[in-house]
Amino acid sequence: MASEVKVPTLGESVTEATIGEWLKKPGDAVALDEPIASLETDKVAVEVPAPIAGIMGAYKAEVGETVEVGAVIAVIEEGQAQSGPEDTHLRKDEAEKASSAEEEIEALPSGEEGGDASTTLSPAVRRAVLEHGVDPTTIKGTGKDGRLTKEDVIAAAKAKQSSPAPSASAPAPSPTPATAEGERVEERVKMTRLRQTIAKRLKGAQEEAALLTTFNDVDMTAVMEARAAYKDVFAKKHNIKLGFMSFFAKAACLALKDVPAVNARIDGDEIVYHKYVDLSVAVSAPNGLVVPVVRNVERMSFAEVEQAIADYGQKAKDGALTMQDMAGGTFTISNGGVFGSLMSTPIINPPQSAVLGLHRIEERPVAVNGEVVIRPMMYIALSYDHRIIDGREAVTALKIIKEAIEDPMRMLIDL
């Protein structure tokens, strides 16, 4: 008897998704609630669990196909997996439907029976494996359930390049086909649903909001000294590293309290002022930039902020963020400095009205008390919707953040 696998409820206002990848092939044994497919929604990837234990049956939808909530995408047969001719036939049929990239991956060594989950490759990982020419079965995955991430593949490729050349007595590896000199190569890859949504939202923000950015620079000396003095004790007590994000999150809370418009949004012909701070923190995920929300930051300690951000960062890397993790948010902090950015004009995350952009810290000569000294400086930027936030308010909010970072005591005594 077969059981249908249906697209689960995906979250509020989300009615459809795209088949991102199949995690099980027809003929594979599946356990109850074991993930068999990954769906890409507008915000996150969602795994589809098996409704029963049994044998994976036929697919009812292909990778890249858009499916609605409740649609049947596969069937699972009751029983145990077999390795006889029927199973072989199923696998052969499925392999014939696979894309050329997937066929190349399948041709790689498959590893030992019962190995880790790193043999289940996402589209991004498959592309990275092909691009860098590494064997995925020799790489230990750091993602969810031991799955490979794109970063794992890149790290393995770098390690392979830095390894010593084989000795003269060792057999030479088979030559890799090289691209002919002067050949113009193009690759066409369909945008993921997440990337399409990011594109639409950011373009919509530019078209609908009256965007403007104000800049300032911050002397990071005081925060860096505080961090250096207390990071070991902090880590020992709270089991989490003391980073810079918690300082900026708490500094932002001071600014949003004093300048409420920066923490507000437009709803029709009304302005909604939030009496709380739900902080959207932009983090990099395998499929693009995502912004999970740390709620009620104004009530949190530095350790709680750091822990929440670290947890979201790991979930983003593992592809485990949920719709609830992404919902809401009243203000955003985006840290381009981790990628080396010196200065940028971040785009607001609708329906929010402002976003704080952080950048890299670098030593620069500055004038202090009439003398030129070298200080660790950071440019900070506040992009805002001029329809709701006046220039004076934006500049004031950014100045409050600057003063709190340069004198962290302000955050303790609420100045």
Q: Among all residues, which ones are annotated catalytic?
A: 386, 390
Number of residues written out for the chain: 415
- List CB contacts of 219: < 8 A, sequence separation 6 or more: 366, 375, 376, 377, 405, 406
Q: Are 70 and 196 in contact (CB under 8 A)?
A: no
Q: How many CB atoms within 10 Å of residue 295?
A: 15
Q: How far apart are CA 376 and CA 277, in angstroms?
A: 29
* Coil, strand or helix at 300: coil
Q: How far apart are CA 354 and CA 381, in angstroms?
A: 10
**Residue environment code for 142-160, b if the CB has 16+ CB neighbours within 10 A, otherwise e:** bbbeebbbbebbeebbeee
* Coil, strand or helix at 371: strand
Q: How many CB atoms within 10 Å of residue 335?
A: 21
Distances (CA, A) of 211 to 206, 272, 282, 355, 368: 7, 19, 19, 11, 33
Closest C-alpha among 69, 59, 52 to residue 23: 59
Give the strand order in the sheet containing 29-30. 2-6, 72-77, 54-59, 29-30
Q: How many CB atoms within 10 Å of residue 331?
A: 28
Q: How far apart are CA 287 and CA 279, in angstroms?
A: 21
